[in-house]
């Protein structure tokens, strides 16, 4: 992925151009002086949907997890 660095004040003037770069795959690093402020990257649809129950049995909860320190249930 190609990367371009642009000052925040310049980015305000050229926002449409920055979006054009991002939509074609270019990463844009926004800076203020020598400090990196933000990164603009293209959106991806590669996130897979969440599957309920995928890790069933991987965690457990103790029987007294909702009890107070003195043994009384917390309501």
Specify the CATH number for the domain of residue 14.
Answer: 3.40.1620.10
Mean pLDDT confidence for 48-75: 77
Q: Is 56 inside a domain boundary?
A: no
Cα(63)–Cα(57) distance, integer angstroms: 15
Specify the pTM: 0.58
Q: Is 10 inside a domain boundary?
A: yes
pLDDT of 56 > 90? The answer is: no
Q: Using 50, 70 and 90 to split pLDDT, how confident is the model at 31?
A: very high
| Number of domain units in the chain | 1
Cα(68)–Cα(74) distance, integer angstroms: 6
Neighbouring-strand partners of residue 73: 67
pLDDT of 66 > 80? The answer is: no
Give me the pLDDT at residue 53, please: 85
């Amino acid at each position: 992925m190609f990367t371009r660095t642009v000052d925040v004040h310049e980015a305000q003037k050229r926002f449409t151009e920055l979006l054009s770069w991002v939509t074609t795959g270019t990463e844009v690093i926004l800076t203020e002086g020598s400090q990196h402020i933000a990164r603009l990257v293209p959106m991806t649809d590669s996130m897979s949907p969440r599957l309920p129950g995928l890790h069933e049995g991987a965690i457990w909860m103790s029987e007294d997890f909702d009890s107070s320190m003195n043994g009384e249930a917390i309501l």
